[in-house]
A = this chain, B = another copy of it.
Amino acid sequence: MATMQDVARLARVSVSTVSYALTGARPISQATRAKVLAAMAELDYQPNAMARGLASRRSRILGLLLPMDERGLGATETAFVTGAAAAASAAGYHLMLSPIGVGDLDELRRLASQRMLDGALLMEVQLHDPRVDVLRELGVPLVLIGRTADTDGLSYVDIDFDQTVRAAVGHLVDLGHRRIVYVNHSADTLAEGYGPALRTRDAFTAAMTGHGLEPLMIPAEDSAAGGRAALATALRRAPDLTAILAMNESAVFGLLGELATRGRSVPDDVSVVSMVTSPQVAELATPALTAMSSPGSAVGRIAIETLLRHVDAGDGQINQQLMPCALEVRGSSGPPRTEGKPTEAARRRAATRRRA
């Protein structure tokens, strides 16, 4: 493995000149630079990351603090990660994967104190997330994907839940729905202070009230069974419901299954709109889900770019960014059934069946 010494020797210049040619920290003449680059190419030189990190006190490593439970990553979160990975790689940085949740603060403290991280990207952020305090205390620049309750002096990229819920409710109201139930994440998740669950809850209340409608929210466990249970609860508490808005990607499948089992057709009897869902997942359901489509890898990319600005500029300015979700109408939403006359969607499906 060639070192900078070797390159310097071969190019007949000093080590520092090689370094400057490589980093551009000081001006180097064209001729010298060419000699150096030629030597590097000949020796297949690659700078040693550890030595560089030690001398420059910059590791060029960013931490990706991603708590991973057994549920796996949804397409939405995976898109965040790929976006982040691509952006980091493009900037010459590396991503260190640390499945550190709010539980292992000691682990986080250790990692950050080892000066291995130039900055950190926090995922699965909770409203009161102690990881933020730890990193701030240790002087590690950070950016959130999601956001805490108090975002003072913090950069973040998050989904605009307010806009998303408003658009989804608006879509259903436009179709003529009045009795809309919101299926959220579980009660535990809410109690824990999981931001998206709380923010969508409030946004739903606001949106429904704004339309002069009564908001009804049902928490559901993150599983098919949770969705089934939620549907049962929903039908008990609002037997006349005609539409369901679902935040919970796992539950929505159980919910659809239970609707089918009970002989309620989608969208004729009940419309279903899924929140923050990737197209791929929306298409899995039958009928394909009308959904608010998550902004995808852009979130991760912007978060990394913001983080790098903090890292380089010694805490540049704060960037707080909310990304909208776009309404994508598919087969799971339609006008509510009107007494006597079949809906447009029903006619369409009948036609399809005849063709088949």
- Chain A residues packing against B (C-beta within 8 Å): 1, 44, 46-51, 53-54, 59, 61, 64, 68, 70-79, 81-82, 85-86, 89, 94-99, 107, 110-111, 113-116, 223-225, 250, 253-254, 256-258, 260-262, 278, 280, 283-288, 297, 353, 356
Contact = CB atoms under 8 A, between A and B. Distances in A.
A48 B286 contact: no
6 contacts: A49-B116, A68-B81, A82-B99, A224-B285, A225-B283, A254-B284
B72 A79 contact: yes
Name the 4 nearest CB pairs between A and B, nearest first. A257-B286, A72-B75, A72-B78, A46-B113
A250 B284 contact: yes
Contacts of A256: 286
Given A96-B94, A97-B95, A50 B115 contact: yes
B73 A78 contact: yes
A283 B53 CA distance: 47
A59 B70 contact: no
B72 A278 contact: yes
A85 B73 contact: no
Q: Which of A50, A61, A116 has the most CB of B within 10 A?
A: A50
Nearest to A288: B224
A47 B116 CA distance: 10
Contacts of A75: 71-72
